[in-house]
Amino acid sequence: MTDHKISITRRLRQTPFSKKVFEAGVTSFTVYNHMLLPTVFKSVEEDYHHLKNAVQVWDVACERQVEITGPDSKKLIEMLTPRDLRNLSVDKCLYAPLTNLSGGILNDPVIVQVGENRYWISIADSDVLLWVSGIATGLALDVKISEPDVSILAIQGPLSNKLMQNVFSMNFENMKLFSIVKVPFKDTSFIAARSGFSKQGGFEIYVENEKYAEDMWDAFFEAGKSLNVAAGCPNGIERVEAGLLSYGNDMTIINNPIECGLERFCKKGIDWSTGKVKPFIGDKALNEVLDNGVMQIIRSIEIDGGALPYCMEPWPINYKNKNVGQITSAAFSPDFQTNVALGMISRECWNEGDQVYIQTPVGTRSAIIHEKSFI
C-alpha cells in the first residue's frame, strides 16, 4: 500500500499534547473529531507488544467533551440515550450509546457527571455538539451547551496502576471499571476514570485547562522511567482482539445498539410502554427491535491463512454461496498467530464455530465465528 500524508493545517486541530507527541516520534495520524489522533509510533506490531507488557501515555484529546449545564441538563442527558443513567454519579461514569429516532447509533460516548447540573459527554468520532444543541433548541430546554477546555490523557497497559501511583501518590489497585476519582496536580485536581480504549487496564485523565497539558505529559514520563513508559495510541491489533468497536468503522448511524452487541445498555427501552421510565430519542424503534430481535450482529471472527492487508473497505462474508455480512476491521495477531477480525453477520451463521468464507483483497479465506472476543 502506498504511503499517504495528512496536510496539517489550522483547520485540522492539533491538541495540547501534540508538541509532545511529535517529540516522542509519532509516525502516523488519523483524523478524529476534526483533530489529530496518533495511530503509530514505532510500528503497529512493536506498539502492540509494548502496550501488552508495559505502560503507555496516549494523547486522546480528540475524544472531545460536550458540556451540558443548567436546570434541564439531566432531562436532556436522559433523552439522548437508551442507557439507564440512575447509576451515574460524580463517582462513576457510564458508557452510553446515543440514538436517533430510528434507533440508529449517533455516537457511543462515556457520560461523566462533573457536578450538580453539569455533565460531560466524552464523544467518539461524530459531531454530537451539533446534535445536542439542536435537540435542546427544538425543545426549548434551559441548558447551556459548549465544548469545554478539557483534553484526555490516557494511561494504558498492565503497569498503569503503578505509573498512576508514582505520579499522584495514590493507590489505584481497587478502582473498578468506569469508577472516578479526583487526582491532585500542581494547584488543581482532575477527574480520572478507570477506562480507556484497550483491554490492558488503564485510566483516562480529563485535563481541564490546556496550560497543564505538557506538564502532565512530562510528569508521567519522568515517573515512568523505571517502568519502560512510552508514548502510544489505540492499537489496531489489540483493539480487534479485544472486540472494541470503532464508531464510523464497525458501526454507523444505520446500525442500532442491539445488533452491535450493546443490548445491555438499552434497558430503558424494555419498559417504555409501561410509562414507568422517561422516554428517550429512539425508544419506540428500539422497543420494536427488542421485541422482534435482530437479523444481524457484530461478531469476532478468526480468518485462516497468512497475514492479511489492512481492511480499508468492507470485505464480503459468504455462507452457502450467498452474502451474509461484511468484515469491517482485521489484523494479524502476533499473540494468537492468526488473523483476527470484527464483522457484521447474519443470524443464520452467527453462532460459535460457524464456518464462513471471506472475500479478501488477496483471495477467498475460510473463517470461524466466535461469540466472544479473543481477549
> What is the structure's pLDDT at 277?
67
Average pLDDT over residues 3-10: 76
> What is the structure's pLDDT at 134?
97
Note the pLDDT tens digit of each residue in 259-304. Answer: 999 999 987 655 545 656 678 999 999 989 988 999 999 999 999 9
Note the pLDDT tens digit of each residue in 85-99. Answer: 989 999 999 999 999
Average pLDDT over residues 227-235: 98
> What is the structure's pLDDT at 1?
47
Answer yes or no: CATH 3.30.1360.70 is held by domain 18-62+149-240.
no
> What percent of the chain is predicted at pLDDT more than 90?
92
Note the pLDDT tens digit of each residue in 60-117. Answer: 999 999 999 999 999 999 999 999 998 999 999 999 999 999 999 999 999 999 999 9
Class of domain 295-375: mainly beta
Mean pLDDT score of the chain: 95
Note the pLDDT tens digit of each residue in 239-252. Answer: 999 999 999 999 99
How far are the Cα atoms of 122, 247, 327, 344, 364 from residue 250, in angstroms, in the given order? 19, 6, 8, 8, 21
Domains in the chain: boundaries: 18-62+149-240, 65-138+256-293, 295-375
Question: Which cell is 137 given?
Answer: 433548541
In SS3 terms, the chain reads as CCCCCCCCCCCCECCCCHHHHHHCCCCEEEEECCEEEEEECCCHHHHHHHHHHCCEEEECCCCCEEEEECCCHHHHHHHHCCCCCCCCECCECEECCEECCCCCEEECCEEEEEECCEEEEECCCCCHHHHHHHHHHHCCCCCEEECCCEEEEEEECCCHHHHHHHHHCCCCCCCCCCEEEEEEECCEEEEEECCCCCCCCEEEEEEECHHHHHHHHHHHHHHCHHHCCEEECCCHHHHHHHCCCCECCCECCCCCCCCCCCHHHCHHHHCHHHCCCCCCCCHHHHHHHHHHCCCEEEEEEEECCCCCCCCCCCEEEEECCEEEEEEEEEEEECCCCEEEEEEEEEHHHCCCCCEEEEEECCEEEEEEEECCCCC
> What is the structure's pLDDT at 271?
52
> What is the structure's pLDDT at 267?
75
10 falls in which pLDDT band (50, 70, 90)? confident
Answer yes or no: CATH 3.30.70.1400 is held by domain 65-138+256-293.
yes
Average pLDDT over residues 40-61: 98
- Say which residues have a Cβ less than 8 Å from residue 186's Cβ, sequence separation at least 6: 212, 215
Note the pLDDT tens digit of each residue in 314-348. Answer: 999 999 999 999 999 999 999 999 999 999 999 99
Note the pLDDT tens digit of each residue in 170-200. Answer: 999 999 999 999 999 999 999 999 999 999 9
Q: Is the pLDDT of residue 12 over 90?
A: no
> What is the structure's pLDDT at 370?
98
Q: What is the pTM of this model?
A: 0.94
> What is the structure's pLDDT at 11?
83
- Give the position of cell 480507556: 196
> What is the structure's pLDDT at 273?
53
